[in-house]
Chains A and B, each alone.
Chain A
Amino acid sequence: MCEYYFDGKGKAFRPMIVVLMARACNIHHNNSREMQASQRSVAIIAEMIHTASLVHDDVIDDANSRRGKMTVNQIWGERKAVLAGDFILSAASVALARIGNTTIISVLTQVIEDLVRGEFLQLGSKENENERFAHYLEKTFKKTASLIANSCKAVSILGCPDPKVHEIAYQYGKNVGIAFQLIDDVLDFTSCADHLGKPTAADLKLGLATGPVLFACRQFPEMNAMIMRRFSKPGDVERARKYVLQSDGVQQTTYLAQRYCHEATREISKLRPSPERDALIQLTDMVLLRDK
């Protein structure tokens, strides 16, 4: 059950970034491309933490499908699914301890805390429009970007002693992570279910107002009431979806994602040139252009 999602069919987006970042930092530091075993562990742990959170999220959201297959809770039931998530987390935590570096433990433990706090942020919503957007971005950082930012930071710490490099790695991961989630939220409106591997308009159905909705709301203030009642009235989801597609919410969110990607590129460009660094720059384009 715990191996269910480790089937090689995920995008492996996070471990890929972490591996590239590790090599880019190593080259920056001493021109050696060779990745350390500890850095490889961080990449694996990042994907494990991510998977554990997916399993719990699917129970929380009562989701039916992910990555084109049934969710763990659908097949084995919620009781076992929650335990499976806990087990993956404990295995990640053991692997983390075995790296033998207390700084790395602290950096990656921060991710676990952020994931939970992000989930709590998602429960609440703000009345005020500006606050609401800040709330949305904070949630996005905690639920998605923190993992990428802190695992990038962890491999940079292992690869290079310079704190400036750690900050570059962290900022790159943070900006790419937020852009990644913004695009994810756009795809929830523009992509079709078969292609995405999960149902669309899923966020609306869960009562969540993501970037495109918040932008659309500026053009169609009547959406405010729907946001506040979390799209709970019959027809809310469909109507909100129409408003979003009529508005420039999708373009605005995409534009915002572009700005985060530029920032990520600006940060990573401070590292010494290497094929891996350039791959990380190209990756920001892939984040923007992806369709699944």
Chain B
Amino acid sequence: MWGAVARRGGGWRGLAAGRPPPAAWSQVVSEAEKIVGYPTSFMSLRCLLSDELSNIAMQVRKLVGTRHPLLDTARGFVYDSRNNLQMRGLVVLLISKAAGPSTADLSFQHNMVSGIYSSQRSLAEITELIHTAFLVHRGIVNIGELKSCDGPLKDMQFGNKMAVLSGDFLLANACTSLAQLQNTKVVELISSAIGDLVQGIYYENSRLSEENCLTDDIGISTWKEQVFLSHSALLAKSCQAAMELAKHSAEMQDMAFQYGKHMSMSHKLHSDLQPFVKESSNDTVVFSLNSAPAVLHQEFLGREAWIKQIKEEKGELKYLGKKCLRDAIGAGRAVPAALELCRHHGARALAALERFPPSEARAALANIVGAASGRS
């Protein structure tokens, strides 16, 4: 599953799968998990044990042997549970703890476990549910574009059916828990984050389908807007909502939002940079023409020159991802610029944390920025 996600240019799992040094990353996470009270891979349990999902699991077996993406996603749940780091949930819990008890309302402090309100724990779960629902919905295939090697048409239709249903099931569960929080502002925030995520994936898809032809002429600022929607909005808004649940001030809410936003932006830039910074003799380095370095390179070079370069390098774009094109991008100013941007977002995330009182939880959040943006 996470391989599939990383290929599509997303996912924390890319991180867990190898870079930065996995030991460092899992250390950051396991220390952080101790702070919030218990491991964060709690989310799916209730859902996974439900009749509906076990039904799906039975049905998904029929897909074995086809190329339906749902298979990868499901496999990830079953076999990868140890690496199934639910980063978004963890960050929501940490920032809740870092902010501490509400100063405005002392009456509901008894509701706290390990310094986190039960409503904030629900929110962390909701965030993961939404994220997972869209991992599933991302894996829908267009029936009209199938090739014969993908497997029988009937199976692919069936895979789509299961993917829509299970994604909807997770989303419906998220909506129900959200309603139970009894806070209209939080419902609005998280609902709008779902809308952002959909828009972000929509852009991502429309670029994805053009993966093998010329990409849109988007500048880095458009890129940032789109990546915010697809990779940052959910976490940023969940962090903000966690503050709202504890009745923290508008300023605290904004800081939490900024942390979530910049931390995930910095992480995305970091993972986009990997194919360019790692010394590798491998000829089949895969990178996306929509990754930050490629987009910056195009911006520096100018659209015309970029297209010319692609054509000269490879003649045909389907060979993209080969070493020469990567080296061409690597030789220009794009990589240092992307690195700079990554550091910039990392620094903004750390700056947002300064408004929180010093604590273990705050330190863990800072470490996550370090690990996510490749600082050591």
Contact of A78 with B by CB under 8 A: yes
A83 to B183, CA, bound (A): 26
Taken residue by residue from 116 to 157, chain B's Cβ proximity to chain A (1 for < 8 Å, 0 otherwise) reads as 000000000000000000100100111111000000000001
Q: Does A62 have its Cβ within 8 Å of any Cβ on chain B?
A: yes
List the A side residues contacting B164 at CB < 8 Å: 56, 59-60, 82
Assess whether A77 is interfacial by the CB under 8 Å rule: yes
Query: Is A248's CB within 8 Å of the partner chain B?
Result: no
Cα separation A10 to B289 with both chains bound (whole Å): 42
CB–CB B178/A109 < 8 A: yes
A78 touches B160 (CB 8 A): yes
Chain B residues lying within 8 Å of A78, measured Cβ to Cβ, are 140-143, 160
Smallest beta-carbon distance A230→chain B, Å:
13
| Interface contact B143-A90, CB-CB below 8 Å | no
Map CB proximity to B onto A85-102 as digits: 1 under 8 Å, 0 otherwise: 011011101101111111
B191 touches A113 (CB 8 A): no
Assuming the A-B contacts A90-B192, A105-B184, are A82 and B167 also in contact, with contact meaning beta carbons closer than 8 angstroms in the complex?
A: yes
Alpha-carbon distance between A73 and B191 when the two chains are bound, in angstroms: 24
Is A112 a contact of B167 with CB atoms below 8 Å? no
A93 touches B145 (CB 8 A): no
Asked whether any CB of chain A lies closer than 8 Å to the CB of B251, the reply is no
Shortest Cβ gap from A252 to chain B (Å): 30
Q: How far is the CA of A215 from the CA of B134 in the complex (A)?
A: 40
Q: Determine the chain A residues whose CB is within 8 A of the CB of B157 once the complex forms.
A: 62
Instruction: Kindly count the residue-residue contacts between A and B in the assembled complex, taking CB atoms under 8 Å apart.
Output: 121
The verdict on B182 contacting chain A, using a C-beta distance below 8 Å, is yes
Chain A residues within an 8 Å CB radius of B171: 86, 89, 112, 116
Count of chain A residues with Cβ under 8 Å from any Cβ of B? Answer: 39
By a CB distance below 8 angstroms, the chain A residues around B51 are 120
Q: Are A94 and B160 in contact (CB under 8 A)?
A: no
B213 at the interface (CB under 8 A from A): no
- Closest residue of chain B to A116, judged by CB? B172
Tell me, yes or no, whether B211 is within 8 Å of chain A by CB: no
B194 to chain A, nearest CB (A): 4
Residues in B neighbouring A109, C-beta threshold 8 A: 175-176, 178-179
Give residues 206-226 of B contacting A (CB, 8 Å). Answer: none
Q: Which residues of A contact B172 (CB under 8 A)?
A: 112-113, 115-117
How many Å from the CB of A98 to the closest CB on chain B?
A: 6
Majority secondary structure, A binding face = helix
Q: How far is the CA of A112 from the CA of B59 in the complex (A)?
A: 23
Q: Is the CB of A94 within 8 A of B140?
A: no
In this assembly, does B98 line the interface, its C-beta being within 8 Å of a C-beta of chain A?
no
Complex CA distance for A3 and B182, rounded to whole angstroms: 30
Question: Would you give the 0/1 interface string for B188-213, flagging 1 where the beta carbon is closer than 8 Å to chain A?
Answer: 10011011001101100100000000
Contacting residues, chain A, for B301 (C-beta < 8 A): none
Chain A positions within 8 Å of B201 at CB level:
83
- Find out whether the CB atom of A77 lies under 8 angstroms from the CB atom of B145: yes
Whether A93 pairs with B140 at a CB distance below 8 angstroms is no
Chain A min CB distance to B119 (Å): 13
Give residues in A with beta carbon < 8 Å to B.
Answer: 56, 59-62, 73, 77-80, 82-83, 86-87, 89-91, 93-94, 96-102, 105-106, 109-110, 112-113, 115-117, 119-120, 123-124
A-B contact pairs, 13 of them (CB 8 A): A79-B205, A82-B140, A82-B167, A83-B202, A86-B134, A90-B195, A96-B191, A98-B184, A105-B184, A105-B187, A113-B172, A116-B172, A120-B51
4 more CB-based (< 8 A) A-B contacts, given A62-B157, A96-B191: A79-B142, A90-B191, A109-B178, A112-B171
Name B's A-contacting residues (CB within 8 A): 51-52, 55, 59, 134, 137, 140-145, 157, 160-161, 163-165, 167-169, 171-173, 175-176, 178-180, 182-185, 187-188, 191-192, 194-195, 198-199, 201-202, 205
**Nearest 9 A/B pairs, CB to CB:** A97-B188, A93-B191, A77-B142, A90-B195, A97-B187, A90-B194, A109-B179, A116-B172, A87-B198
